[in-house]
Amino acid sequence: MRAGAKLGFFLLFAPLVLWLGLLIVIPHIDMFLVSIRERIGVAEYQTSLANYLTFFTEPLYLVTFLRTAMMSILATALTLVIGFPVSFYIAKIAKGRLQSALFLLTLVPFYVSELVRTFGWMILLRETGLFSTLLQWLGLADQPVEMLYNDVAMMVGLVYTSMLFMVVPLITTMESLDDSVIEAGYDLGGSGFSVMREIIIPHAMPGIVSGSIIVFMLSLGNYLTPTMLGGKDSLWFTELIYSQFIVRFNWELGAAFGFMLLFLSSLIVWGTLKLTGQTLEKTMG
């Protein structure tokens, strides 16, 4: 009986282990081995950390990463500011069919691929798009306005493509807050602001942190949206990685950049958890 239980346990977890091993662990090990290779000849390599040192010695690479990180933090903050009231309304104010309908509306845009959604924003923001036409119709512009290929357009795309990953954790967390606790806060003389600050936000903090981590990581590693909406002047670190792999065929440097992105983003997430006093077990539980 015990042998059968062990066999069932192994069979149950075998697909997960194979998935993690073949698609995550082994490729990362191979990419790390590539990243510590330095080309010294046509087909000759030596083990070296020169590719990692290049990240710190070339100002363009470090500045691009810092810019990408700051823009990703800003996108995360904007997503939280927009997503929090939406999540609160769905979780605690809307009831019945309205609640289900509103939650479904947050899911509908993600039924299509990110590419289609990004093309949608390009159609809206181009010179002949809806927003430009509306500005001319209202008399706020006397000629077509090009709203594409800048940081603002890129930020709009990043927030839009990440909104679901902020809203869902917040709704899940807020739904577990008993309405009687909120009512008790008002009964004890609390204002709407104080109840939000002392009751709702502390209770929603695991959802806030988990949603922020997901949105930050998605924004930091996003390639499609910055490329299509940001244009050539909006440098993004994933574009540098793509350039090293595909354009320059410098797989060693591209692999090193990929690991630096993984390491530094993990460091930022770890620092955020420490500052907020949260743990991965609490935020992902």
pLDDT tens readout for residues 26-60: 988 999 999 999 887 777 788 889 999 999 998 99
Least confident window among 41-45, 82-86, 147-151: 41-45
Please give the structure tokens belonging to residue 79.
């997503």
pTM of the model: 0.88
Query: Read out DSSP for the chain?
Result: -HHHHHHHHHHHHHHHHHHHIIIIIHHHHHHHHHHTEEE-SSS-EEE-SHHHHHHHHSHHHHHHHHHHHHHHHHHHHHHHHHHHHHHHIIIII--HHHHHHHHHHHHGGGGS-HHHHHHHHHHHHSTTSHHHHHHHHTTS-SS-----SSHHHHHHHHHHHHHHHHHHHHHHHHHTS-HHHHHHHHHTT--HHHHIIIIIHHHHHHHHHHHHHHHHHHHHT--HHIIIII-TTS--HHHHHHIIIIIS--HHHHHHHHHHHHHHHHHHHHHHHHHHT--HHHHH-
Nearest to 220 by CA among 231, 235, 236, 240: 236
Please give the pLDDT value at position 285.
Answer: 59
pLDDT of residue 75: 95
Q: Which residues pair with 212 in a beta bridge?
A: none
Q: How many CA atoms lie within 13 A of 211 on its CB side?
A: 30
Residue 79: pLDDT over 90: yes
Domains within the chain, CATH numbers bracketed: 64-284 (1.10.3720.10)
Q: What is the CA radius of gyration of the chain?
A: 23
Higher model confidence: residue 70 or residue 6? Answer: 70
For the chain, report the end-to-end CA distance as a whole number of angstroms: 32
Q: Does residue 186 contact residue 196 with C-beta atoms inside 8 Å?
A: no
Q: For residue range 88-122, what is the model confidence (pLDDT) as tens digits?
A: 999 999 988 999 999 898 888 888 888 888 889 99
| Residue matched to tokens 């000849």 | 41
* pLDDT confidence bin for 281, thresholds 50/70/90: low
Backbone angles phi, psi at 47, to 5 degrees: -75, 125
Q: What pLDDT, on a 0 to 100 scale, did the predictor assign at position 234?
A: 78
The predicted pLDDT at position 284 comes to 61
pLDDT value at 1 more than 60: no
Query: pLDDT per residue over 213-225, tens digit each?
Result: 999 999 999 999 9
Contact 161, 143 (CB under 8 A): no
Tokens 């949206």 correspond to 225
- Closest listed residue to residue 178, CA positions, set 144, 203, 148: 203
Tokens 């909120």 belong to: 182
User: Alpha-carbon distance 271 to 280, whole Å?
Assistant: 12
Tell me how long the chain is. 285
